[in-house]
Amino acid sequence: MPVTEALDRITRATENEEFWDFDIFELEAATHKRPLTYLGLKIFARFGVCEVLKCSETMLRSWLQIIEANYHASNPYHNSTHSADVLHATAYFLCKERIKQILDPLDEIAALIAATVHDLDHPGRTNSFLCNAGRELAILYNDTAVLESHLAALAFQLTTRDDKCNIFKNMERDDYWTLHQSIIDMVLATEMTKHFEHVNKLVNSINKPLAALEEDGETGKNQEAIITMLRTPDNRSLIKRTLIKCADAISESGARISEEWFSQTDEEKRQDLPVVMSVFDRNTCSIPKSRISFIDYFITDMFAAWDAFVDLPELMQHLDNNFKYWKGLDEMKLRSLRPPPEQWATLPGALMLCPSSHLGFLRARAPWSFRPPVCRACKSTQGRRQPSVATI
């Protein structure tokens, strides 16, 4: 493909990055699996990152390239496409009115950088696997938040060891340490052992006091009290932790994450290690049941709390559609990602045509992701149900 044509495709793929229906897989294809650098440049420019950090765009590009190079392209899920997807969701949340009232530019930049690096050098294996296998990283970090500690440290090592990509080198010392601690705090929050602690804190420390203040009316005094309450250092940190946890949780999954966990189970059996996720045995796994359990156990309460704080009706509708899709497959007693073609149209939110009746436009992500289907021909996200279809 000619260079100009390739660049045009990348430009088209990133043109709607401000919206929820942004297509990360189209950017992955357009960039030959290097979406993080291109999306990062676009999003970081929109948030004025270079101006705040006092670094050049050339330096930012070098930094994004070295970070992306240290993601494992061989991982089905934990690769730079996942990182780019989380970065996009993070930027989307940062633009919500409630968030804009609370976080300052340094908070926003910390969130964007944390999203960019949050799975850097991920080996495609869980912390529990690394601990059970006695891997060097597990020993180094005392079996505690192994991957999150490693990748946070590696992100700063990669950044500061070469002036050509050290985006922090022109910052004031105090600003740098504030940013440094905020990035580490957000990355460590993606470790799942404290998931329920973070969600409960959001409900009890923010949502309940916020609801009590809002019940007293929308007076100027109350609004001032609300902003003051939300802008305390502890609450800002809690909001940033929840933001990146939600961005991470809604990244595309399904086939990719399942394959990565299948691979881990395969290796655990070969090495006679404890099987951490016995449900992810490729010979017996019901993917619909595993997704239903994940949504029930981790997603529903967290997003109910996040929606109550931020107000995300569109996202909550996609979550509901997602859950109904998996329930439909489970009720059909299917174990796969997709139903047989003849049953496709019977599922909630399954196959739709865009208003222009373009055929074959749905990506595999459509009903089983948290984003709406997008027409490949005209980029429409408004659809009507297709009554029957031969292939998908």
Catalytic residue status for 78 = yes
- CA distances, 337 to each of 75, 253, 298, 324, 364 (Å): 19, 11, 20, 13, 9
- Between CA 181 and CA 204 the distance in angstroms is 24
Is 174 labeled as ligand-binding?
A: no
Cβ-count burial 270-301 (b if 16+ within 10 Å, e if not): eeebeebbeebeeeebbbbebbbeebeebbeb
Is 180 labeled as ligand-binding?
A: no
Tell which residue, 48, 179, 46, 202, has the closest CA to residue 113: 179
**φ, ψ for residue 54, nearest 5 deg:** 60, 45
Fill in the amino acid letter for 377.
A
Q: Which of 78, 88, 150, 318 is catalytic?
A: 78
Is 248 labeled as ligand-binding?
A: yes
Question: Annotated binding residues for Zn(2+), as ranges?
Answer: 82, 118-119, 248
As annotated, the binding site includes 82, 118-119, 248
> Which residues are known catalytic residues?
78
